[in-house]
Structure 1
Amino acid sequence: MEMRMQIDPELVNKLINSLPYPISTDDLIQRARQFGVSDQILGMLEHLPKQTFNSPQDVQNLVGGLSNLPNLGNLGGLGDLFKR
């Protein structure tokens, strides 16, 4: 049985665009929790490498690449949100 995440692209984009840059991975995850994103998205963010993000594009590029990792399962198209 395939599990699909329910992703609100608007919520994700609002989160990414509202962050104070530069931001560390840990601060990004903390802000995402405060923003109210789903546990699935938090789990995905926890797979990000520990680094500093200097812009929304930095986050989008890395998150988009995570959709291809088999151990994360189906991200319900989250990665596709950032392939514009």
Structure 2
Amino acid sequence: MNINPGQIDQILNALPYPISKQNLIDMARQRGVNDQMISMLEKLPDKTFNSADDIKNSVSGIGNLGGFKL
């Protein structure tokens, strides 16, 4: 799967912060994010994210996501 980092940044930067994990997943689904990325979001800690960087830092803390990096 080809992931365009610019597209990911655009989506993350357009989210209303702060945002809960569940709202993040719901909004990702509404925007047509694929199942692989939804699965990755579901692995995030159950917390409120305050920025795109907060989400990116949490993703990097999950570990190996099949080569997926933000």
Q: TM-score, normalised by structure 1?
A: 0.73
Give the structure 2 partner of residue 20 of structure 1.
16
Q: Within the alignment, does 1:41 sit opposite 2:33 as a pair?
A: no
Q: For structure 1, list consecutive stretches of 5 or more residues without a partner in the other structure.
A: none
The separation in 2 between residues aligned to 1:64 and 1:52, in whole angstroms, is 16
Q: TM-score, normalised by structure 2?
A: 0.85
**Over the residues paired in the alignment, what is the CA RMSD in angstroms?**
1.5
Give the structure 2 partner of residue 31 of structure 1.
27
Give the structure 2 partner of residue 61 of structure 1.
57
Q: Look at both structures and tell me which one has the larger radius of gyration over its CA atoms.
A: 1
| Sequence identity (%) | 50
Q: For structure 2, list consecutive stretches of 5 or more residues without a partner in the other structure.
A: none
Q: How many residues align?
A: 70
CA contact under 8 A between 1:12 and 1:37: conserved in structure 2? Answer: no
The separation in 2 between residues aligned to 1:64 and 1:11, in whole angstroms, is 18
